[in-house]
Amino acid sequence: MNPCAQAVSVTAAAKPPFRAEHIGSLLRPANLLRERARFAKGEIDAAALAAVEDQAIVDATRLQQRIGFIFVTDGEFRRRSYHSFFYDALGQLRIDTIGGANALGADGQGGRGAQPIAIIGSRVQWSHPINAADVGFLKAHSDRRPKITIPGPCALHFRGGDAAVTASAYHDVDQFWSDIVEAFTRELHALAAAGCRYVQIDETAFAKFGDPHVQAALLARGDNWSALIDKYIAVTNRVLAAAPKEISIGMHLCRGNRGGHWHAEGSYEEVAERLFNSLVVQFYFLEYDTPRAGSFTPLRFVPRYKSVVLGLISTKVAQLEDKSVLKGRIDEATKFVALDRLAVSPQCGFASLDTGNPLTVETQTAKLELVGNMALDIWGDT
């Protein structure tokens, strides 16, 4: 048995973030991918597919419990991607259309991937709970806290800008933002009503603003990237202000995670002071698995009442990280954030898209176990 499992103490008082975290998505089991393909061809019905999804999620919760995580996710097994499932439920919205080559300069080692673009074909409208049933399923099959992951409220706009908003669905961009805030607010209240107390917002845009390539692309479409930072913080704060107070909400940032490829590089420096002080979220999941993320220096802006989960373990490569090296990196981070306000995780999910990153299930398990063992070694709990 993994020693992490021996240290778990699940209490109602425990609040996120936990010392050992993971970002949410897990590699889809081969049989789930196979049955989903059969469903797409009309060879099985929705009930048959749901039964396979149910068993895969139960198995995923057992894995997380065995390793010692205090929370569980459903691995995002009912979704094609971490964000499309959510936005599809809000209207005729596409957030992940790929134009041109799937990866720019990709050499088989995880190059820069093409930034997906958004198509907004209708107004954004919440009509029913999107992830509430997932909360109920997790609560029925595990005694650990359900963690629900949702895309960020600004992700759709980041991938299309005002031009995508006003192409067909809106005349007024302010109306778009009001619809976004209302939709996210209603979903968060539906999650709370279902018993959810832990939500992770995946808002990857903030981590990409430090990339000159991204800045140039935003400028080319008519956006001032620095002004967008302020806009996105203001919109997200509207969502957070209206969210149920009983839900702990953290924000995950990364620079792209599609089949081992990435979308951006560069330090958090350009956004750090505003991100950590103006955004009212209480904790952050930050990508720090490669030099592309820059140094820990931007963490000097993190106020003393906020926490940071360091994403030190890569979900993009199969090589298992050296625990002593990781401990050294955490020591380095403590120059800017006290150890009691830090935690550890992979930098992103293992399968932001259902086809997953180029790792085996065995490697995924080893990396998750490494997270748990790191937490035990450093903090004495997970």
Identify the CA nearest to 244 among candidates 168, 144, 135.
Answer: 135
How many helices (H) and strands (E) in the chain?
A: 13, 12
C-alpha 278/C-alpha 326 separation (Å) is 30
Residue 240 has pLDDT above 50, yes or no: yes
Identify the CA nearest to 228 among candidates 241, 214, 240, 249.
Answer: 214
**Distances 278 to 24, 232, 273 between C-alpha atoms, Å:** 26, 11, 8
| Greater pLDDT, 2 or 115 | 115
| Ordered domains of the chain (ranges, CATH) | 21-379 (3.20.20.210)
pTM of the full structure? 0.91
Report yes or no: 106 and 113 within 8 Å, Cβ to Cβ. Answer: yes
Report yes or no: 115 and 159 within 8 Å, Cβ to Cβ. Answer: yes
Element (H, E) at 71: strand 71-72
Element (H, E) at 52: helix 46-67
Q: Which two tokens stand for residue 299?
A: 């963490």
Burial class (CB in 10 A: 0-12, 13-18, 19+), 322: exposed
**146-176, pLDDT tens digit by residue?**
999 999 999 999 989 999 999 999 999 999 9
Report yes or no: 58 and 47 within 8 Å, Cβ to Cβ. Answer: no
Find the mean pLDDT for residues 209-222: 89
Find the mean pLDDT for residues 268-279: 96
**59-96, pLDDT tens digit by residue?**
999 999 999 999 999 999 998 877 788 999 999 998 87
